[in-house]
Amino acid sequence: MKSLVALLLAFTTTLVVAQDSNPARTPADGPFVPDAVLPGGQVLSLYSPDSPLLNQERIHEAEKYNTTGKYDRLLNTLNIHNPTIEVHLAENRQNNGAAVIVAPGGGHKILWVGPEGYDLVPFFAEHGVSTIVLRNRLRVDGYEPTTDAVNDTFQAIRIVRAHAEEWQLDPAKIGVVGFSAGAELSAPTALFFDEFQEAHADNSDPLANVSPRPDFVGLVYPGPTPFTRNPETSIPKNCPPSFIVCAGSDDKVHAIWADEYFSPMLKAGVPNLEMHIYAHGGHGGSIRPRTGGPFATWPDRFLDWFTDLGFLAKPGEPTKAAKDVAAYSGKR
């Protein structure tokens, strides 16, 4: 495990808060890795510096940051060529061992790592749940979301699970919650984990034997899912449970995409699906209280679902989610 940690940890650099003000570094300086945004955070690169999956000509480039307005921390970022995760371990994580990898949205043009990433840290920590904020590669920087960014998400799952013992996490309680474009990354993780593992089974990969399957998936006002592109997308027999939420008529397109994910899963009998389509609420907003209305309460509904499935129970105890998946898998 120590060798794995040494492989995954990388250099840190000073956080610069004005967009376009980060100076590019030379290749000799090594891959760019951001400082932790929140106190106590640990930043890990998703890949080794010499990984063929990275654009070696650009991994040294600094990200471009923005902290406009009254927001008191990093608002969004882009120019991500060395994708990372920022790990925030909850103080009371020994109570349940659960961890949520958060995939921010931004239309694949930027990452709203502030409201759809770091704002989730204190929310989950209050319940003893650790939060990992993903900084994946973006289309605007020359990458393909359905492959590069989805692979970044799978890699994040493997890294967190590989560190589960060291970080005092339950390896059976690691999932992904994605917002908007980030949900375009969380949705495929519920469907294509076997394909990813098969494609990354080389013995030279230190994570080859670590499962990329999430134990739960969240889609918050999601972008198009694999079912949008192919309604006949195959659903694995051990598909994890999903929580889907969106506003309705005033976020119609995203609500339709939410339903396109929910309906085939429901028809297939996947256990523990839960979807909330609210009458109004618009797009975005993360967990902010908004201006009132039922949509503002969706985080409470997520916690209801999360608790009911056993993810807040003691570490090591089989969850209701896992038992139901096993029963469903045995019927297919």
Question: Over the stretch 28-76, which tens digit does the pLDDT of each residue have?
Answer: 578 999 999 999 999 999 999 999 999 999 999 999 998 766 777 889 9
pLDDT at 1: 36
Burial 128-159 (b: 16+ CB within 10 A, else e): bbbbbbbbbbbeebebebeebbbbbbbbbbbb
Q: Give Cβ neighbours of residue 198 (< 8 Å, ≥ 6 apart).
A: none
DSSP labels, 109-161: T-B-TIIIIITHHHHHHTTT-EEEEEE---GGGT--IIIIIHHHHHHHHHHHH
Mean pLDDT of the chain: 90
Strands 64-66 and 84-88: unpaired
Instruction: Please report, for residues 108, 193, 222, 304, 306, the alpha-carbon distance to residue 188 in angstroms, rounded to integers and kept in the order given.
Output: 16, 8, 12, 24, 20
List the domain boundaries for the chain. Answer: 83-331
Q: Is the pLDDT of residue 4 over 70?
A: no
Domain 83-331 is found in CATH 3.30.1370.60: no
Question: Over the stretch 220-256, which tens digit does the pLDDT of each residue have?
Answer: 999 999 999 999 999 999 999 999 999 999 999 999 9
Average pLDDT over residues 129-143: 98
Q: Does the reported pTM lie above 0.75? A: yes
Average pLDDT over residues 176-188: 98
